Amino acid sequence: MKIAIIGGTGNMGYGLGLRLAKANHEIVIGSRTAERAEEAAKAARALVGTSQITGAENASAAQEAELVILSVPTAGHREMVQSLRDILSHKCVLDITVPLAFKPLRYAPPLEGSNAQETAAILGEGCRVAAGFHTISATLLTDLEAPLEADALLVGNDAALKEQLLTLGREIGITVYDAGTLTLACALESQTPMLIGMNKRYGSKHIGFKMVGF
């Protein structure tokens, strides 16, 4: 599958791209400039040992892909989705972004209730948007020798898209669970600031969740 990661030069997007490339998917790292994207892609190719990682400006990356993963900073989320609306409205989209505020660190969602719901509102009726993978450590993702021991949750309204993403999770070594519809995206996104605080408190970089009872 050809997968674009918008914001793929950031830690989370970059790490997820490495893991997906290792699972033999074709990855396009997106950035605001093609030069920065290609620089990250070159480093990623060297790490994974594959030629199937390229870089492109965000719109070009999204246009090429079957699946688009949004991994952009909080401050630029709305603007980025709006700028890519005509492209993304016809794509499968996984939003892994988290709206954070600082001093103190906290969850600060947009008026729509979550970043994923903001994405869906901008893209309009008929869009295919899911949210998930927020609590997987970027540190672990970028360490290709480290096992991904944590589980992840996924929400969305499109059953076929969710099944596709559950499969991608398995391919990179993550057990992903269907946690419901997109209205629950706020519950998933808001776990991230808590985990950031716990990592600082306990001197770790990859505290996550394991699901039990299945």
Average pLDDT rounded to a whole number, residues 78-91: 96
Q: Domain residues of the chain, as ranges?
A: 2-202
pLDDT, tens digit, 9 for 90 and up, residues 158-198: 999 999 999 999 999 999 999 999 999 999 999 999 999 99
Give the confidence band of 8 by pLDDT, cuts at 50, 70, 90.
Answer: very high
CATH fourth-level superfamily of 2-202: NAD(P)-binding Rossmann-like Domain (3.40.50.720)
In this prediction, residue 14 has a pLDDT band, given cuts at 50, 70 and 90, of: very high
Give pLDDT tens digits for 41-58. Answer: 999 999 999 999 999 999
Per-chain mean pLDDT for the chain? 96
The reported pTM is 0.96
- How far apart CA 61 and CA 139 sit, in angstroms, is 24
Residue 2 has pLDDT above 90, yes or no: yes
Residue type, 202: Y
* Maximum Cα–Cα distance across the chain: 47
Q: What is the pLDDT of residues 88-141, one digit of tens each?
A: 999 999 999 999 999 999 999 999 999 999 999 999 999 999 999 999 999 999
Q: How far is CA 43 from CA 6, 14, 96, in A?
A: 17, 10, 22
Measured distance CA(42)–CA(10) in Å, rounded = 15
Q: Is the pLDDT of residue 149 over 90?
A: no
**Strand pairing category for 92-95 and 67-70:** parallel
Beta strands in 71-123 (DSSP E): 92-95, 100-101, 106-107
pLDDT value at residue 167: 97
Query: What integer pLDDT is reported at residue 214 of this predicted model?
Result: 85
What pLDDT, on a 0 to 100 scale, did the predictor assign at position 70?
98
Q: Which of 175, 38, 157, 33 shows the shortest CA–CA distance to 92? A: 157
